[in-house]
Amino acid sequence: MSQMCGIGPFVTIPLMVAAFGGPQAIIGWIAGAVLALVDGLVWAELGASLPGAGGSYVYLREAFQYRSGRLMPFLFVWTAMLFIPLIMSTGVVGFVQYLGFLWPEMTKTQGDLVGLATVVAVVLLLWRKVDRIARLATAMWGVMIVAVAAVLIASYSRFSATRAFTWPAHAVELTHGQFWLGFAAGLTIGIYDYLGYNTTAYLGAEVKQPGKVLPRSIVYSILGIMVIYLLLQIGVLGAINWQDMLDKNSVASKSVASAVLKLAWGTRVADVVTVLILVTAFASVLTGLLGGSRVPYDAARDRVFFRSYAKLHARHEFPVLGLLTMGAVTAVGFLIGRHTDLNTLINLLTTVMVIVQAFAQILAVTVLRRRQPDLPRPYRMWLYPVPGIVAAIGWLVVYGYADRNAPGYHPIEWSLAWVAAGVLAFLIWSKVERVWPFGPQEIREEYRQADVQSAQV
């Protein structure tokens, strides 16, 4: 939940209202929660049956090794090195947006420099042992809780049901194409805000009783965050006119939480809570890059990615190249978001994520049930295969509408180009490592074999 609820809702409420054209934007949060929940059940079965460090790359390695060797886990790491830091770059964009409330004279160039300096500060803070970072992250999580609580209390202190629940005429016309275009945009924003429900799956090797803990953590975190988001969305809509959020130059559009706080309690309180929101944004980037930088390291150590990413800092024992690479991509992503818009950045990162991670994992559940029918499955997906089918449809909507939701920037084409570049990189890597298709195919049914060995003992 700490990974899920960062700066996201503070910057995307105006985007959601703009996507739907009114307070019916609540539909987007609900749709995002449904997609997160059905996709979460995919993660739950895979995480419970394959509780290894690395999450997706373990699942894809086990499922697709029979026909394509290590291609799929390699492609996951390749795409993760783009979409994880792009997610973090949205936090930096949000940081600069809310800083603008405290520093209204900030120019575009000054904002760019502040954002880049923020990325550098995050990398420098992560340039140390992880146990020291844990205490800092915990403190920042506490600050985030205070910020969310303050915005909720401020929203409901001047709540108007008329503002919150008076929808424009013809707000929901299921036969009109414009509604579905808005729905697709809202679903994309919604699932972006829920990202992080799979965090515990990446820590499967370190979790006691993963067969019970992982499914529960995924489902409970989605339901808990859904309640927080709905309360935030409804509260903000009841505290401020939604039309104000459509003006891209207004405070309500750039810093909606600060605008609500100012209306409820005045400028001084709004300034104080805005500082807390800035800390929240910084914390989301810090924790995201902390975990993200370990993905290529775990894969490289497992001989699924370039060996250079398996090297640790000689003194502080953190993955140096993974941190530097993701820090650099975060900085580039921030500049893209600043010079396009946040909606474009969200569409770019979701399209890259969908192809290899979302679609492939849904297929992996079926492949593993057929290839490894005796694999221990402490949790089996409810109503299989319905959740996977619903998740696939949801992700297909997100992907299929991406170009229309970010006109002129072609996120679909960019995502395909990045995957194609990943295939080329895999061929080069596999040639050097002399693995399939340039060497013998290695089949490792690691979790099935581990269970057999434990049974023999």
pLDDT reported for residue 132: 62
**167 touches 22 (CB < 8 A):** yes
Which one, of 39, 36, 32, 37, lies nearest residue 365 by Cα? 39
pLDDT, one tens digit per residue, over 352-394 is: 999 889 999 999 999 999 999 999 999 999 999 999 999 999 9
**358 touches 391 (CB < 8 A):** yes
Phi and psi torsions of 428, nearest 5°: -65, -45
Distance between alpha carbon 384 and the CA centroid of its chain, in Å?
A: 25
pLDDT reported for residue 455: 39
Give pTM, 2 decimals: 0.91
Amino acid found at 411? P
For the CA atoms of 257, 258, 264, 267, the dihedral, rounded to the nearest 10 degrees, stands at 170
3-state SS assignment for residue 345: helix
pLDDT reported for residue 45: 95
Q: How many CA atoms lie within 13 A of 160 on its CB side?
A: 11
pLDDT, one tens digit per residue, over 278-329 is: 988 888 888 888 878 888 888 898 888 999 999 988 887 888 999 999 999 9
Question: How far is the C-alpha of 412 from the C-alpha of 359, rounded, in Å?
Answer: 15
**78 touches 348 (CB < 8 A):** no
Question: How far is the C-alpha of 8 from the C-alpha of 190, rounded, in Å?
Answer: 10
Tens digit of pLDDT per residue, the chain (457 long)?
A: 766 777 888 899 999 999 999 999 999 999 999 999 999 999 999 999 998 777 888 899 999 999 899 999 999 999 999 999 999 999 999 999 999 999 999 999 999 999 999 999 999 988 877 666 667 767 777 888 888 899 999 999 999 999 999 988 888 888 787 889 999 999 999 999 999 888 788 777 777 888 888 999 999 999 998 998 999 999 999 999 999 999 888 899 999 999 999 999 999 999 999 999 998 888 888 888 887 888 888 889 888 899 999 998 888 788 899 999 999 999 999 999 999 999 999 999 999 999 889 999 999 999 999 999 999 999 999 999 999 999 999 999 999 999 999 999 999 999 999 999 999 999 999 999 999 999 988 888 888 755 544 433 3
Question: How far is the C-alpha of 318 from the C-alpha of 125, rounded, in Å?
Answer: 12
Q: What is the DSSP code (8-state) at residue 44?
A: H
- Secondary structure (H, E, C), 139-179: HHHHHHHHHHHHHHHHHHHCCCHHHHHCCCCCCCCCCCHHH
pLDDT reported for residue 453: 44
pLDDT reported for residue 454: 42
Question: How far is the C-alpha of 381 from the C-alpha of 182, rounded, in Å?
Answer: 31
pLDDT reported for residue 452: 43
Which one, of 262, 315, 346, lies nearest residue 91 by Cα? 346
Q: To 5 degrees, how large is the angle CA 210–CA 213–CA 217?
A: 130
The count of other CB atoms within 10 Å of the CB of residue 167 is 16
Which one, of 330, 297, 329, lies nearest residue 313 by Cα? 297
The CATH number of 8-436, from 3.40.640.10, 1.10.579.10, 1.20.1740.10, 2.60.40.10, is 1.20.1740.10
Question: How far is the C-alpha of 156 from the C-alpha of 175, rounded, in Å?
Answer: 35
pLDDT reported for residue 456: 38
Largest CA distance in the chain: 70
Burial of 342 (0-12, 13-18, 19+ CB in 10 A): buried
3-state SS assignment for residue 319: strand
Question: How far is the C-alpha of 43 from the C-alpha of 63, rounded, in Å?
Answer: 14
pLDDT reported for residue 457: 38
